[in-house]
A and B are shown apart, each in its own frame.
With several copies, the nearest count.
Chain A
Amino acid sequence: MIRVQREDFDPGAELAAFAPGNARVGGICLFLGLVRDFVGDQPGGTAVRGMTLEHYPGMTERQLEAIEAEARRRWPLDEVLVIHRYGALAPAERIVLVATASAHREAAFQSCHFLIDWLKTKAPFWKLEHTAAGDSWVEARDSDQALAERWGAGDA
């Protein structure tokens, strides 16, 4: 299931409601992405006051659904959940949640990892960071591209 929304979500409640009581499921893997309060990749960078996530309504859902379908083609999954927010976000706020459930722990892990890696390079979201020096669009990282490419090509 894909949800693209402006409003916040409750990760604990989402996890509690995910594949409850399904005794075929041996493992659930969940990733939660949060707004950091610094620019770049190392703590200590310029302070970030918040960010605004722009997206492309319609294409976002379409791309996320394609990525979910690709994950289900590759691994035996009982449940998939992707929640991605857009709009104004403060530091420590939630941005994205990805969760997968499978009979197999390795399938749960790999599919969750795959979903966030592919989402990072394929879902049309753009981060505008707000700092004391002004606003700037976050640049895509080569490292994110490399992380996505290790999963090979697919239909999505």
Chain B
Amino acid sequence: MKVLYFAWLKGKTGIGEEEVTPPAEVADVAALVAWLKTRSPGHAAALDDLRAVRVAVNQDHVGLDAPVAAGDEVAFFPPVTGG
């Protein structure tokens, strides 16, 4: 599973992209977040307040209850500010 971080989330994790292999019971975004937060204090800080975080799975906007599986591309980022 590929995990991406953008904007200030990337600043907190210190990485833009990582390849991870969570345990099989990590089946949705909420479980993935809980598992990622154990990887480093930076991860924990980036994903601390999920009201400030948006998620995409395979480049589509999704909610915390969206399923995730091996091979997915999961991205975490703040609300967008383009245009």
Contacts and interface: CB of A to CB of B under 8 A. Distances in A.
21 contacts: A53-B82, A54-B7, A55-B82, A56-B4, A56-B77, A62-B60, A84-B82, A84-B83, A96-B82, A96-B83, A116-B83, A119-B82, A123-B80, A124-B56, A124-B75, A125-B80, A125-B83, A126-B78, A127-B82, A128-B7, A139-B81
Interface residues of A, number: 30
Interface in B53-70: 56, 59-61
Contacts of A33: 83
Given A96-B83, A137-B8, A59 B78 contact: no
A3 interface: no
A92 interface: no
A95 interface: yes
A93 to B, nearest CB: 14
Interface of B: 4, 6-8, 56, 59-61, 75, 77-83
| Chain B at the A interface: SS class | loop
A140 to B, nearest CB: 3
A124 B82 CA distance: 7
Nearest to B10: A54
Contacts, number: 74
Contact of B7 (A84, A116, A126): A126
A127 B79 CA distance: 11
A124 B6 contact: yes
Q: Which of B75, B79, B80, B81 has the most CB of A within 10 A?
A: B81
A121 interface: yes
Contacts of A54: 6-7
A97 B61 CA distance: 23
A140 B83 CA distance: 11
A144 B82 CA distance: 11
Given A33-B83, A140-B80, A140-B81, A122 B61 contact: yes
Contacts of A45: none
Interface in A126-156: 126-128, 137-140, 144-145
Contacts of B4: 56
A95 B7 CA distance: 18
